[in-house]
Amino acid sequence: MKTCFKLTQLIKLTQLIIIVILLTLNFSKVTMAQNLAGAPLPSWNKGTNKQTIINFVENVTDPENPNYVAPEFRIATFDNDGTLWAEKPMYFQVAFALSRIRELAPNFPEWKEKQPFKAVLENDQQYLANITVNELLEIAMVTHAGMSQKEFEQEAREFLDIAKHPRFNQLYKQVIYQPMLELLTYLQNNQFKTYICSGGGLDFIRLFSEEAYRISPENIIGSNILKKYKIVSDHSQFIRQPQIIEPINDKAGKPVNIERFIGKKPILAVGNSDGDIEMMQYTVIAHQPSLALLVHHDDEMREYRYTTGTEKALKLAKKYNWSVISMKQDFKQVFSFSP
Amino acid sequence: MKTCFKLTQLIKLTQLIIIVILLTLNFSKVTMAQNLAGAPLPSWNKGTNKQTIINFVENVTDPENPNYVAPEFRIATFDNDGTLWAEKPMYFQVAFALSRIRELAPNFPEWKEKQPFKAVLENDQQYLANITVNELLEIAMVTHAGMSQKEFEQEAREFLDIAKHPRFNQLYKQVIYQPMLELLTYLQNNQFKTYICSGGGLDFIRLFSEEAYRISPENIIGSNILKKYKIVSDHSQFIRQPQIIEPINDKAGKPVNIERFIGKKPILAVGNSDGDIEMMQYTVIAHQPSLALLVHHDDEMREYRYTTGTEKALKLAKKYNWSVISMKQDFKQVFSFSP
């Protein structure tokens, strides 16, 4: 069978084929990107807060928008305890140190009278629930001083791989807020650099942050003790010293360390307590576009309900126009598991 | 005019067109990448050192090679003074502080007898040429304490935009080794994360590192003074304190800060002095694949010739099999300008 064409028809056909191919290639790119992203924040209930976040991300990533921010300046900093994972009945890092404190107690008879050690030895749950970041760090400093970094990591990994949250009966590293995980993913898919900025110990957080949050070790800002470098039988070692590096990564120490580690001001900060006030303030004061989110623990059924340690932040949220995230109202689902 | 085809011929023609388009698209990607990269390290003379670097990069980036390293672990750390830019006749940061020291001298009569201030006031060139990192930091700490970070940056930027190197008559920020710049670019094009790890002040380096080296603020590890965060008339400010944060980023402080800031061991370290020994050792000891390069200043014609402060490193280079880069032999060109 023969088919006859004009040469011009043939050229047009060829053009058509090329256009179809190019469109297909382009279309598949767009749909792939959309499939990867999906509808953002599925575990968030519809409402002002969800919409504020989505509007913010859409604006700063849209080159046509006056609030467009280049990818290298899309810095987002997240507190960890109470913001990404739970912090009750006590900081998970304190739970990690409990057995070590009891083990060391015979060498430190003064602990019987000295907080926060006294509370650990007497199992004073109320005290432990409201321990300060400074006390947390004193525990972190004392319990593993003199150990090599490798030994510390082994011990902490063991805890994280085995120990379970007393109420939820899940590994601590799984007691993570599903909506916050989705927020991290949403930001990462939109070329944000996501950082943790926590009062807790840098080394402890690094052991699960990649797996839990897809945040790599160089993007963790935390409190830290000094280490000494030495060579032991042809291997390099870091020995943990009983000395905290200033500033402690809490309150006004957070912006100082953000400036030190990143050298750029975040455009998004997420916290949950008075320890996060300065980080959120630094992010939004005289700085546009920017957004600050304050997670409010108001859901005693699915998580916890408390305002202790967050009274000042809740007041300031109104003054500074921070978005207060109600776990009860804004979170369709709290954890990836059913509590 | 009419041309006649069999339908099978037409299908074949269509297939051919599709194949040509797809090949062209693919080919253009490859050639674009090649054009971007070019032949690596053009300002390096052919020889063992150039070949060692190229082999290393080709091996760690080749997924088929047993020494392949995933991009997230391709960490390279570079010393700055004497490694990326010159450090004679004195550390450029000391040159920056000279006028400020003279300005402040009337308030500190004891400086007349106290080094390194005495050397500045007496213009003792030999002393200034061999100032230690600790002395550099004492100068940095004292000269701008109490200033806001913004004021410090303005003053330092002014220096960097105006002050010229006394011998080369070029802006200090242009007295950069062209071969090292090419090495940085080569690594960056091969998905290495390039960091500066310098004994000098973090804040000073950040002011030119993006422009000079394409290294962004969050990838600078340096010595640092403590800052205080505060709000002044609705703006956030950092006030520079007269207190150095430990450890100083020199000698054994370098691996400690690399561990603190990155949390991953580099696979490539580049230095030039005894202050870089521990960083290079940390990178290569019991760690494969890895490479350490020691820049040796042996070219009095085009740059400087000295071994003071680098004697121990040169000895250890043999023991540990570090590549010693001879500026005289390995650098086809030293700077981007002609000295």
pLDDT digits (tens, 9 = 90+) for A253-290: 999 999 999 999 999 999 999 999 999 999 999 999 99
Please judge whether A255 and B238 are an interchain contact, meaning their C-beta atoms are less than 8 angstroms apart.
yes
Q: Which chain A residues are within 8 Å of B224, Cβ to Cβ?
A: 260
Q: Determine the CATH number of domain B41-86+176-330.
A: 3.40.50.1000
Q: For chain A, which ranges sit under pLDDT 50?
A: 1, 26-35
Q: Of B317, B29, B252, give the one whose Cα is nearest residue A236.
A: B252
State the pLDDT confidence band at B34, using cuts at 50, 70 and 90: very low
What pLDDT does residue A17 have?
A: 63
**What confidence category does residue B38 fall into, taking pLDDT thresholds of 50, 70 and 90?**
confident
DSSP code per residue over B250-274: STTHHHHHHHHHT-S--SEEEE-SG
Residue A293 contacts by C-beta under 8 Å, 6 or more apart in sequence? A49, A53, A268, A269, A270, A271, A322, A323, A325
> Which CATH superfamily, name and number, covers A41-87+175-224+246-330?
HAD superfamily/HAD-like (3.40.50.1000)
Distance separating alpha carbons of residues B100 and B90, to the nearest angstrom: 16
**Taking the model in full, what pTM does it have?**
0.90
User: Cα separation of A173 and A180, whole Å?
Assistant: 14
Is the separation of the CB atoms in A260 and B228 below 8 Å?
no
Average confidence (pLDDT) over B4-29: 58
Is residue B192 less than 8 Å (CB to CB) from chain A? no
Q: What are the C-alpha distances in Å from A85 to residues A174, A209, A297?
A: 8, 11, 12
Amino acid symbol at A107: N
Per the CB < 8 A criterion, the answer to whether A219 and A193 are in contact is: yes
* CA–CA distance, A296 with A133 (Å, rounded to integer): 19
User: Which of residues 66 through 105 in chain A touch B, CB cutoff 8 A?
Assistant: 72
Q: How far apart are CA B109 and CA B114, in angstroms?
A: 9
Higher pLDDT, B17 or A108: A108
Closest CA to B264 of B67, B76, B58: B76
Residue entry with tokens 């956030």:
B236
Instruction: Please give the residue of chain B at the shortest CA–CA distance from A232.
Output: B285
**Quick one: pLDDT at residue B5?**
55
pLDDT surpasses 70 at B17:
no
pLDDT at B338: 81
Q: Cβ distance B335 to B176 under 8 Å?
A: yes
Helices and strands, number each (H, E), in chain B: 13, 9
Quickly count: other Cβ atoms within 10 Å of residue B130's Cβ: 14
Q: What is the pLDDT of residue B11?
A: 62
| pLDDT for residue B329 | 98
- The confidence band for B33, taking pLDDT boundaries of 50, 70 and 90, is very low
Q: State how far the Cα of A61 lies from the Cα of A186, in Å rounded to an integer.
A: 12
Q: Which residue of B has its CA nearest to A281?
A: B236
Q: Output the pLDDT for position A28.
A: 47
Q: What is the three-state SS of A260-274?
A: HHCCCCCCEEEECCH
User: Does the beta carbon of A232 lie under 8 angstroms from any beta carbon of chain B?
Assistant: no
> Whole-angstrom Cα distance, residue B214 to residue B44?
20
| A229 neighbors B252 (Cβ within 8 angstroms) | yes
**ipTM > 0.95 (yes/no):** no
Q: How many CA atoms lie within 13 A of B276 on its CB side?
A: 32
Instruction: Name, of B10-19, B30-39, B295-304, the range with top average pLDDT.
Output: B295-304
> Which pLDDT value is given to residue B27?
47
Q: Which chain A residues are closer than 8 Å to B281 by Cβ?
A: 231, 236
Residue B25 has pLDDT above 50, yes or no: yes
pLDDT of B170 above 50: yes
Nearest-angstrom CA–CA distance, A41 and A189 = 12
What is the predicted pLDDT for the residue at B14?
A: 62
From the candidates A11, A243, A260, A316, which should be mutated to test the interface with B, based on the most B CB atoms within 10 A? A260
Check CB contact of A159 with chain B, cutoff 8 Å: no
**Per-residue pLDDT, A13:** 60
* Alpha carbons A268 and A77: distance in angstroms, whole number: 6
A319 touches chain B (CB under 8 A): no
Q: Across chain A, how many H-helices and E-strands are there? A: 13, 9
Calpha distance A119→A127 (Å, rounded): 6
Instruction: Report the alpha-carbon distance of residue A85 to residue A102 in Å, rounded.
Output: 26
Amino acid at A197: C
Question: What pLDDT digit, counting tens, does each position of B128-146 carry?
Answer: 999 999 999 999 889 999 9
What confidence score (pLDDT) does residue A22 get? 53
Give DSSP secondary structure letters for A104-163: HGGG-GGGGGSTTHHHHHTT-HHHHHT--HHHHHHHHHHHTTTSBHHHHHHHHHHHHHH-
Whether residue A230 and residue B238 make contact (CB cut-off 8 A), yes or no, is: no
Task: Tell me, yes or no, if B232 comes closer than 8 A to chain A by beta carbon.
Answer: no
What is the Cα A253 distance to its own chain's centre? 17
Residue A211 near residue A194 (C-beta atoms within 8 A): no
Query: What DSSP element (H or E) covers A312?
Result: helix A311-320
The whole-number pLDDT of residue A338 equals 81
Interface residue B218 vs chain A (CB under 8 A): yes
- Is A214 within 8 Å of chain B by CB? no
pLDDT of residue A38: 77
Q: Outline where A38-83 has alpha helix (H).
A: 48-60
In chain B, residues under CATH classification 3.40.50.1000 are 41-86+176-330
Average pLDDT over residues B330-334: 98
pLDDT for B35: 46
Q: From the CA of B175, how many Å to the nearest CA of chain A?
A: 24
- B327 burial type by CB count under 10 A (0-12 exposed, 13-18 middle, 19+ buried): buried
Please tell me the predicted confidence (pLDDT) of residue B24: 56
pLDDT (tens digit per residue) in B198-236: 999 999 999 999 999 999 999 999 999 999 999 998 999
